[in-house]
């Protein structure tokens, strides 16, 4: 059950700001929340509920549910490859893009797929502009054209960039050709607005900081652009409801 919003004094921030803080944003509110007898307990309860949500839906269970939905009796080879996504969202286009011979950047590769789990509902695959909300759990799949390195970035409506895979890390991690489902899952915070998910694959290792800096400031653009030599860049824009 969602905690009851606290009684507010004139100095207290709005409820939606407290929810954003509890989800990991708005660090400037830390001093007030730590000292306020109204806001502090409210944020603590929000975080406790988020932790309970994550414990109840560990990545292992998320993976098992996806695998169960992917099972088809004696499917042909091409059907086994797309069985996870097609029954869930026919709008997902499953064509693996590969780096060009000129070693340039390939944009909007559909090798990148995103799956959503909300509460007790079934896992669904997300298409462009799919609606999402705070506490939705996401899991990613990437069919790499060959062995290489991958990072998945999140650009939210406040122009904040987070490395969702590998979560919080400073460098891409190795992935195998046609890797498929990636380990781990993430839970979305309360920041509303457009939500861009950007997967960057390269044959060579790369750091995430420079690409994150390029993404900031592009949240409201009709498309996002990343300069990365020899990379495959796949993007998905979601529509995220605020508090």
pLDDT tens digits for 74-124? 444 333 323 333 333 322 332 333 333 333 444 444 689 999 988 877 888
Domain boundary assignment for the chain? 15-56, 59-241
pLDDT tens digits for 196-208? 999 999 999 999 9
Cα separations in angstroms, 223 against 107, 176, 198: 10, 28, 11
The CATH-assigned architecture of domain 59-241 is Distorted Sandwich (2.70)
Residue in 174, 116, 180, 127 with CA at minimum distance from that of residue 147? 174
What pairing do the DSSP bridges indicate for beta strands 173-175 and 161-165?
unpaired
Reported as a pLDDT band with limits 50, 70 and 90, residue 15 is confident
Using a 10 angstrom Cβ sphere, with 0-12 exposed, 13-18 middle and 19 or more buried, the burial of residue 117 is buried
Rounded CA separation 231/92 (Å): 22
| pLDDT for res 74 | 42
State the average pLDDT over residues 47-57.
69
Q: 3-state DSSP call for residue 125? A: strand
Reported as a pLDDT band with limits 50, 70 and 90, residue 7 is confident
With a CB cutoff of 8 Å and minimum separation 6, the contacts of 65 are 117, 122, 123
Query: How many Å is the Cα radius of gyration of the chain?
Result: 19
């Amino acid at each position: 059950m969602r905690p009851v919003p606290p009684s507010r004094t004139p100095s207290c921030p709005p409820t939606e700001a407290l929810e954003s803080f509890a989800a990991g944003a708005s660090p400037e509110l830390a001093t007030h929340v730590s000292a306020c007898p109204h806001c502090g307990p409210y944020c603590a309860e929000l975080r406790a509920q988020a932790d309970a949500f994550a414990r109840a839906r560990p990545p292992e269970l998320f993976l098992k549910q996806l695998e169960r939905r992917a099972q088809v009796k004696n499917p042909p080879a091409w059907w086994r490859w797309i069985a996870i996504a097609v029954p869930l969202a026919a709008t997902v286009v499953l064509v693996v893009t590969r780096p060009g011979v000129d070693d340039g950047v390939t944009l909007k590769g559909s090798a990148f797929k995103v799956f959503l789990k909300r509460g007790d509902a079934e896992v669904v695959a997300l298409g462009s502009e799919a609606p999402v909300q705070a506490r939705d759990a996401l899991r990613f799949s990437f069919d790499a054209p060959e062995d290489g390195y991958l990072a998945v970035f999140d650009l939210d409506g406040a122009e904040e960039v987070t490395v969702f895979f590998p979560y919080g890390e400073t460098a891409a991690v190795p992935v195998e050709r046609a890797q498929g489902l990636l380990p781990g899952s993430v839970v979305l915070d309360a920041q509303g607005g457009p939500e861009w998910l950007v997967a960057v694959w390269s044959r060579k290792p790369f750091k995430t900081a420079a690409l994150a800096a390029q993404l900031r400031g592009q949240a409201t653009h009709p498309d996002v652009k990343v300069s990365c030599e020899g990379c495959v860049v796949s993007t998905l824009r979601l529509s995220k409801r605020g508090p």
